[in-house]
Amino acid sequence: MKSTTPIAVASRSFSKHTKLCAELLERYINVHFNDKGISLSGQELVNFAKGKEKLIIGLEKIDESMLSKLPELKVISKYGVGTDMLDIIAMSRHGVRLGWTPGVNKRSVTELTIAFMISILRRLPQIQLDIRKGIWRNIIGKQLSNHTVGIIGCGNVGKDLTIILRSFGCAVLANDILDFPDFYKSHNVESVTLNEILRRSDIVTIHVPLNDTTRGILGPDQLRMMKSGAILINTARGGLVDEDEVKRLLKSGKLAGAGFDVFGTEPPEDLELLKLPNFMATPHIGGSSEEAVLAMGRAAIAGLDKNEIPDQDNM
């Protein structure tokens, strides 16, 4: 029997995905979708969710002021894996449960990260610029195979990426606030400090959540530690890396290249950075392959029923 529990789907992406909408309607009959496709925030989001017991969100921000105005809300289910837009402490205080499945889109992010690595090593951004200008020349790049890759954050994506990189014969260095000795041993990963990753890696890729402890984790001092000719990849979150310093290092040649899927401000406003021939950018698509979108949506549907009071220490 279908549930009559009132549901709101704030996520624009979910709301326009016909298959996900149909699967949700197989379980619930009282569903309010974001049919207008507008980005909901503040009072607009409160008005949209008013009177609903369960809410599916994507990138919408939930804070104390909103929760205080939504006394009927019992569950928030996350479409996607990032939780930096949620005030976990406020949710816990209001007794609002969270449906969340970490790592559901990890392979999508892993494959984009690998694509960045190979594209920048083979100098594809510069080659594409040349070809569009009618310039046909042989630019020699490098292979990914046998390079040393430093992974900052060895959670779901970091572990998945490690497995793929090992198949390329890459040496993998890892840094994480948690220790994974069994995983490191089985995949021949060397656990090192952050500074050691920066100094030793040919490629540095970051895969940590954005919170008070990670914001600006790669500032100017850290970025200047990187090897001359190294490559930096960020498919995690904007706000982790000092983009101004990255631009300076790319222009000076200290960094050979960089690939970002995420930015501190989206869309990014620094056109000078975006136009650099050794910089590659995508519009926050890391977790948005067709397969990942479907998996995230199904996880969000499941999270409406399978959820718990969130614990900040476990996010």
Q: How far apart are CA 133 and CA 243, in angstroms?
A: 28
| Cβ(191)–Cβ(179) below 8 Å | yes
Q: How far apart are CA 266 and CA 268, in angstroms?
A: 5
User: Is 284 among the residues known to form the active site?
Assistant: yes
User: Is 137 among the residues known to form the active site?
Assistant: no
Structure tokens of 143? 């292979």
Q: How far apart are CA 295 and CA 302, in angstroms?
A: 11
Q: How far apart are CA 276 and CA 179, in angstroms?
A: 37
Structure tokens of 61? 């921000």
| Cβ(53)–Cβ(305) below 8 Å | no
Q: How far apart are CA 48 and CA 97, in angstroms?
A: 19
Beta strands in 227-285 (DSSP E): 230-234, 255-260, 279-281
Please identify which of the residues 64, 266, 269, 308 carries the catalytic annotation. Answer: 266
Please identify which of the residues 122, 248, 284, 298 carries the catalytic annotation. Answer: 284
Structure tokens of 3? 């549930």
User: Helical H runs in the chain?
Assistant: 12-15, 18-25, 42-49, 64-68, 88-94, 106-121, 124-132, 156-167, 181-186, 194-200, 220-223, 243-252, 271-274, 290-303
User: Is 266 among the residues known to form the active site?
Assistant: yes
Burial of 43 (0-12, 13-18, 19+ CB in 10 A): exposed
Query: Active-site positions?
Result: 237, 266, 284
